[in-house]
Amino acid sequence: MEEKKFEGKSKIIVDIDGIHCADCALNIERSVEHLSGVLSAEVSYVLSSATVYYDPHRVEEEKIKKAITQPGYVVRETLAQRTRAFWSEMRPFLFMAASGITLVLSYISGWLYLGPAYLPTTFAVASLILGGYPILKSAIEALFIPDLNVDTLVSIAAIAATSVGAYQEAATVIFIMLLGEFLEHLTVGKARKAISSLIQLAPKTAWVRREQEEVRVPIEEVKAKEIVIVKPGERIPVDGKIISGCGSINQSMLTGESIPIEKGAGDRVYCGTINESGSCEIETTQVAEDTKLAQIKRLILEAQAEKSPTQRVMDRFTRYFIPAILLIALATFLITGDAIRAITILIVACPCALVLGTPTAVVAAIGNAARQGILIKGGAYLEQMGRLKTLLMDKTGTLTYGRPKVVGINGLDGLNEKEILYWAAIAEKRSEHPLAKAITERAEELGLLIPHPESFENLIGKGVKARWNGKTILLGSAQFLREEKITIPESAMEVLKQKESEGATSLFLSLDHHLLGLISIADTLREKAKDTIGQIRKEGISEIWMLTGDSELVANRIGKELGIRYEADLLPEEKVLRVKEWKKQGQTVAMVGDGVNDAPALAAADVGIAMGAAGTDVAIETADIALMTDELEKIPTAIRLSRKALRVIKENIAFALVFNTVLVFLSAQGWVTMILGAMMHQASSLLVILNSMRLLRKDG
């Protein structure tokens, strides 16, 4: 169980055992919501957990737990409770097995004429009592809330069938309903298992160096600043910084990227990732519930427990649906005088498939997205993403790498690029300026060995002056070189103007007052940015805009390369205004940014999408959807998955409504038997769950 407090309210997340169907979840939800002081309760059948928001001044946590356990469910906290929970989980299926055995004996004794004439009826009544007990118990408990649920309909149907002497038929219906619940539980369990495997990745123990010895301790005992040793093939048990060793780190559980990353001293690593090669020593920064994995786990659980708008509508609908079915069944009996028809209507009209249609799809989609490094923080954002019409994107750090790179080298007098870069890198070797780093990084990429200059002088706003091997190197603006009495030919100035028009910064290089050429530096597009924009358009989103605080020149260059429209020179508050303007036009708007600088715009959008959240707590907290890496291609993946989820939800709801309506009509005509109706009802629930589970596939 987890508790959080915020804004004068409290929130608890409670693990519950004994939830066997969607109706159980609704029972708990309504039981808790009837408490004074409870603001809202959301119970997930798939996750077997409840998320409750409450006023701690009006209602105590223990009272909330009592409201959960009173109907017979178990809050999973202590060992004794977990033992009790096991039997709570098993009890309905033991009753089902006993009911099934006695039902079979009823039919066999009747077919083979074994024993006295009353024996088949006796076995049928026994089966009815064994199977009907958990259903009747649930129905009675619901009346104390007060409320009507699916078990209410089934109980009334069974009692009515018994009253007209249809003992075997009533027992068969009860057994089919229990068997359907069992199969439903198993099917949903597969989805639950797929999700659990994602969030149960943290190692239970860790090797820690204490007093010059390596000792294995429970992960809860590892402290900050301690040195943790991780061997090849082991999962990293903490968040921390590598101080020695290491090699390939598989971060797929965190980022969705299957290709391992080479890491060494000084690099950050995260709990749950796999050290595939080489031993390493890690200085711990976060442990247990403070790690990135724990943070992501909380988000996934909260997101899956949170109900989508469609699910809330369906829940409200079922509150009126069940009384309506009771009235339809009563009217059928009064008109036809046929009790069996009315009983069958009660059986086939149970809205299980309708209740399951949305939450199973939402949970499957969010779980799938998380496996691919996309954290969707709730069903509401999943649905909004599925309805997306306009996509607004930040430039720096989103569409571009967010750091300057060498984009052009123009030499004079036949000098090649390597020669120019060699001398420029010597001059910038001692500089910490971003442009200097761009030059030295490019030199390293080309395999150039750059010596340290004998002297170095940084002339702020102008450039740098350095000496090496008796030669004077100047690197900087055209104005700086002219001040140093260096002539710049017109052809070089034309190149400068051309590069500036493209949004690049150019530096002139001279050696012993002889001009060698110029180096152009700019922020560059991400490798797959153009392809990603094309994929987004294929998803039907034509309104794609870049919002940037950068200059018109730079924005124009990037906009032309990507083929998208843009607005430049925008302050953060102006980005917010643009988001609001699009929303006023009735558009569903998503904003993509880094989660920090763009936080106001992310918050203003219908869906805020943060890039590269693996290293940024703020990004995870502020965004509605967090991409764990800087991979732009995850955006069309998120759109595609959200749209498929929305489509599956609509399919589930349409199928459930049509199926129930047709079955009710056929039952009213007397064309469907009780047993066939029970079988078809359970089949509809299973079909809805299986349809939702398609969303667990990686291709979405």
Amino acid in the structure at residue 43: V
Per-residue confidence band for 2, with pLDDT thresholds at 50, 70 and 90:
very low
Write down the mean pLDDT value for the chain. Answer: 81
**What is the DSSP track for 342-397?**
HHHHHHHT--HHHHHHHHHHHHHHHHHHHHTTEEE--HHHHHHHHT--EEEEEIII
Per-residue confidence band for 261, with pLDDT thresholds at 50, 70 and 90:
confident
pLDDT at residue number 149? 65
pLDDT above 50: residue 206: yes
Strand ranges, E, within 45-194 = 49-54, 74-75
pLDDT at residue number 197? 56
- Integer Cα distance of 692 and 700 in angstroms: 11
Tell me the percentage of the chain whose pLDDT exceeds 70.
84
Instruction: Specify the higher pLDDT residue, 247 or 686.
Output: 686
- Integer Cα distance of 635 and 539 in angstroms: 11
Taking a C-beta distance cutoff of 8 angstroms, is the pair 562, 530 a contact?
Answer: yes
Peptide bond into 451 cis (omega under 30): no
- Integer Cα distance of 362 and 237 in angstroms: 30
Residues with catalytic annotation? Answer: 394
Tell me the per-residue pLDDT of 421-455, one tens digit each, with 9 for 90 and over. 999 999 988 887 878 888 998 998 888 889 999 99
pLDDT above 80: residue 344: yes
Other C-beta atoms lying within 10 Å of the C-beta of residue 302: 18
- Integer Cα distance of 691 and 249 in angstroms: 36
Inter-CA distances, 222 with 251, 268, 327, Å: 22, 18, 62
Find residue 245's DSSP bridge partners: 280
Instruction: Specify the higher pLDDT residue, 80 or 257.
Output: 257
Query: Rg (Cα) of the chain, in Å, rounded?
Result: 33
Residue position matching structure tokens 């002339």: 459
pLDDT at residue number 79? 42
Taking a C-beta distance cutoff of 8 angstroms, is the pair 632, 532 a contact?
Answer: yes
Helix axes 167-199, 352-371, angle to 10 degrees: 20
- Integer Cα distance of 199 and 172 in angstroms: 40
pLDDT at residue number 240? 85
Element (H, E) at 547: strand 543-547
pLDDT at residue number 644? 95
Helix axes 379-386, 309-336, angle to 10 degrees: 90
Strand order in the sheet with 514-525: 400-411, 514-525, 505-511, 471-476, 463-468, 455-459
pLDDT at residue number 544? 93
Per-residue confidence band for 509, with pLDDT thresholds at 50, 70 and 90:
very high
Range in 204-213, 251-260, 403-412 the model is least confident about:
251-260
Range in 245-249, 489-493, 631-635 the model is least confident about:
245-249
- Integer Cα distance of 149 and 136 in angstroms: 11
- For the ranges 54-68, 81-95, 151-165, the one whose mean pLDDT is highest: 54-68
pLDDT at residue number 325? 85
pLDDT above 60: residue 614: no
Q: What is the pTM of this model?
A: 0.72
pLDDT at residue number 467? 92
**What is the DSSP track for 364-377?**
HHHHHHHHTTEEE-
Range in 190-199, 225-234, 329-338 the model is least confident about:
190-199
pLDDT at residue number 148? 67
pLDDT above 70: residue 548: yes
pLDDT at residue number 293? 66
- Integer Cα distance of 26 and 30 in angstroms: 6
pLDDT at residue number 460? 78
Tell me the per-residue pLDDT of 559-613, one tens digit each, with 9 for 90 and over. 888 999 999 888 778 888 998 899 888 888 999 987 556 778 888 889 989 887 6
Maximum CA extent, the chain: 121
Amino acid in the structure at residue 439: I
90, two tokens:
């098993």
Rounded to an integer, the average pLDDT of 376-397 is: 88
Contacts of 459 (CB under 8 A, 6+ apart): 465, 476, 480
Instruction: Give 605-613's long-range contacts (Cβ < 8 A, gap of 24+).
Output: 605/392, 605/579, 606/384, 607/381, 607/384, 607/385, 607/388, 609/635, 609/638, 611/397, 611/398, 612/397, 613/375
Rounded to an integer, the average pLDDT of 530-541 is: 92
Angle at 340 between CA 337 and CA 346, to 5 degrees: 110
